Structure 1
Amino acid sequence: MNRLDIANLIIEKITAQAEAAKDMYADSVSNIGYFYIDNFLPTELATKVHDVFPHYNDMMLIGSKYNLREYKYVTAQMNNCHPLLEETIFAFQDPRILDLIKEICDINSLYADENLYAGGISLMHQGQFLNPHLDNSHEKDRKQWRVLNLLYYVTPDWHQTNGGNLELWPDGIDNAQLTIDSAFNRLIVMATHDGSWHSVSPITADKNRTCVSNYYFSDSALKPTDQFHVTSFRGRPEQGVRDIALQADNALRQSVRKLFPLGLVKTKQIYKK
């Protein structure tokens, strides 16, 4: 299937679930706005998307088991992957889909990112994790605000006990998190702003969790308090020493970006066409 075929399926599903999605987002928007839709694409297609994922040896490793921030495999270089993965990624960038989600989330302007800055596909296996963090506030050129994170999970028979679930921390990391299972064929759309702390729980199962992700950007931030910030990590409530170290790391990297607005090192997680 090509991206237009897949986009048409996405539009059909979102349209059918639009009112429920709008209610879910409205109920959560005062903290971290989100909604999710299950059985998102036909099961056969969702399974095929999973089956054509590259081996993790063909993806870029971010972090390590000793890293304080994160440990996962990613790639945004979609032309090196099976064509179905690229078609699926870019199906989410169909203007009609952006219009639908713009209406659901009541956002005035919304833009897809053809460069897949920090997007693309990700794979996590046993022992891998993503600590609580705020996403970088902007796209790579700092001209638009990052406002929505779209996560499409495609691992068959994935259960909450396997780990690898999305965790939202609407009241900050010192308080209880909300866990949203990374269930097979589930799309989660999550707001990103200066209070949208989120994480991925450590993978406990001896299997891979696979995800297709996009970011949407806007002319304006979602909250009036939003200011430019680098991707900022924190420790979990039980990780006191790690939390201190990560806060110091955040402050250092933020200071560097004040001197070098576009950063010292170009990100490797971008689609180089």
Structure 2
Amino acid sequence: MLDKTLRNYYAEQIFSKLEQSKSALKQEFSLGNRINTCYLDDLLSTDDVLKIYNAFPEKEDLLQLKDLREHKYVGIQLDKYNSILEEIIYAFQDVRIVKLIAEITGFQELMPDEYLYAGGVSLMEYGCFLNPHLDNSHDKDINNYRVLNLLYYVTPDWQEKYGGNLELWDQHLKQPCRTIHSKFNRLVIMVTNKNSLHSVSPINYHGRRCCVSNYYFSPQPADAQNYYHVTSFRGRPEQNLRDIVLRGDAKLRNIVRKIFKHGIKKPHFYKK
């Protein structure tokens, strides 16, 4: 790699690919009447992505999150894992890439999150899911707004029929969702605001779907008005009872967060 660090090596590939597709991505992201999203395929070389995938830890070495809201495995304390994972995650925080994504999405004053609050790596297998939800509106210190979610999928040969795909509820839960296949070597850029209801479809395949996640923040909200909310889950359209429970859960956790700034649950961020 000609004396280049691995992080910079990844960053240069990502920047180049985004730059080549900048105009098309900008147009796609700005389409109206839907949650602002765009995606880019073949982000890195196939060999590089396979190395990233093979560096993923086994589920036993990750934190399992399992309840009515979600079922997945997450890793945030990256110094416990193969260093490749830390390098690819922080490659997305390269100043050149952050500036370019700001140009693509139209957001100003974008900031990456060195603490990876609710980001990092995630693994989902047979039976895993993520119910419709709004992401937490702020960073861990409630100083800046979470405005963009970057999802990079690295599982080879992952078919759309396996599940584990990103679902975007453009018309909230009143109409069917729009699906983006969690395809190998695909980067998805998605707005996160008070209307960006999204989910991950249940996995029906005995394999592991791996994802690298980053969030970008801004002192300015993604909408015209200020807002605040914790991660708020809903039931799927056919899950009436679960929806009632999850809506109550979200209201309760919002009340708790107003009393305790950081909540009462162990925060999910990288302790360097």
Q: With structure 1 as the length reference, what TM-score do the two structures score?
A: 0.96
Aligned ranges 1:40-189 → 2 under 5 Å:
40-63=43-66, 67-189=67-189
- Cα deviation, residue 258, structure 1: 1.5
The superposition leaves residues 145-199 of structure 1 with CA deviations (integer Å, 9 ceiling, x where unpaired) of 0000000000000011000000000110121100000000000000000000000
Overall identity of the aligned pairs, in %: 49
Q: Secondary structure at the match of 2:109?
A: coil
Q: With structure 2 as the length reference, what TM-score do the two structures score?
A: 0.97
Q: Secondary structure at the match of 1:176?
A: coil
Partner of 1:6: 10
Partner Cα distance (2:208, 2:187) in 1: 18
Q: Is the 8 A contact 1:148 1:216 kept in 2?
A: yes
Partner Cα distance (1:187, 1:43) in 2: 14
Partner Cα distance (2:29, 2:264) in 1: 37
Partner of 1:37: 40
Partner Cα distance (1:226, 1:31) in 2: 20
- Cα deviation, residue 226, structure 1: 4.5
2:271 counterpart letter in structure 1: K
Q: Secondary structure at the match of 1:98?
A: helix
1:19 aligns with 2:23: yes
- Cα deviation, residue 263, structure 1: 1.4
Q: Is the 8 A contact 1:133 1:232 kept in 2?
A: yes
- Cα deviation, residue 261, structure 1: 2.3
Q: Is the 8 A contact 1:194 1:225 kept in 2?
A: no
2:102 counterpart letter in structure 1: K
Aligned ranges 1:208-227 → 2 under 5 Å:
208-227=208-227
Moved segments of 4+, more than 6 Å: none
The superposition leaves residues 104-128 of structure 1 with CA deviations (integer Å, 9 ceiling, x where unpaired) of 0011110000001000000000000
- Cα deviation, residue 225, structure 1: 3.8
Q: Quote the RMSD (CA, aligned, Å).
A: 1.0
Partner Cα distance (2:252, 2:175) in 1: 26
- Equivalent pairs counted in the alignment come to 268
Structure 1 unmatched ranges of 5 or more: none
1:83 counterpart letter in structure 2: S
Aligned ranges 1:222-241 → 2 under 5 Å:
222-241=222-241
